[in-house]
């Protein structure tokens, strides 16, 4: 069967595509996804939070794991709301990287801004503290991924300004 005839068959019966996909599913990589947001306020300050569950580099960007049926940008919005009570807008994705620590995990970093100014922050039990940092200030030690997200966010903001 030629590729053209096969394509025509699939166009008449698109459900046929699902058969090999379901058969091959056990052999595909199963990955988890985490998404973080580099959140900036109206003054151009970056939000960093102190995490309970990150003992080596407690300070970092807010975010967390993607739930089933969720997109990464939905994950960032949900995690920010759950962890800090902040509503954010996604400006753009900054980086997608394979985790160095977890073999089947992807991390995604986003540039975000507050949906409305002067939102009060209420920390979840996963966080100990928060602080807004100017980009020219010395930041606390960050994980390599979070540091790269911040570096890329600063570069994008420099272009946008």
Query: What tens digit of pLDDT does each residue of 107-155 get?
Result: 999 999 999 998 999 999 999 999 999 999 999 999 999 999 999 999 9
Query: Helical H runs in the chain?
Result: 3-12, 18-24, 72-84, 144-160
**Which residues are CB-neighbours of 64 under 8 A, at least 6 positions away?**
34, 35, 75, 79, 82, 83, 126
Residue 118 burial by Cβ neighbours in a 10 Å radius (0-12, 13-18, 19+): exposed
Q: Across the chain, what does the average pLDDT equal?
A: 91
Per CATH, which fold does 31-160 belong to? Nucleoside Triphosphate Pyrophosphohydrolase (3.90.79)
Task: Specify the pLDDT at position 74.
Answer: 97
Phi/psi for 15 (5° steps) reads -65, -20
**Which residues are CB-neighbours of 67 under 8 A, at least 6 positions away?**
75, 78
Task: Specify the pLDDT at position 11.
Answer: 79
Which comes out higher in pLDDT, residue 88 or 16?
88
Instruction: Label residue 161 by pLDDT band (50, 70, 90).
Output: low
Q: What is the pTM of this model?
A: 0.84
């Amino acid at each position: 069967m030629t590729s053209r005839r096969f394509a025509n068959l699939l166009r008449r019966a698109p459900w046929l595509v699902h058969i090999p996909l379901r058969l091959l599913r056990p052999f595909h990589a199963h990955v988890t996804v985490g998404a973080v947001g580099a959140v900036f306020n109206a003054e151009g300050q970056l939000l960093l939070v102190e995490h309970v569950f990150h003992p080596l580099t407690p300070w970092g960007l807010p975010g967390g794991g993607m739930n089933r049926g969720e997109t990464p940008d939905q994950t960032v919005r949900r995690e920010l709301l759950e962890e800090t009570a902040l509503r954010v807008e996604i400006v753009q994705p900054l980086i997608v990287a394979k985790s160095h620590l977890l073999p089947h995990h992807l991390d995604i970093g986003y540039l975000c801004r507050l949906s409305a100014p002067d939102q009060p922050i209420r920390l979840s039990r996963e966080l100990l503290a928060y602080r807004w940092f100017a980009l020219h200030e010395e930041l606390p030690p960050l994980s390599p991924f979070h540091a790269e997200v911040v570096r890329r966010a600063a570069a994008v903001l420099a272009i946008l300004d």
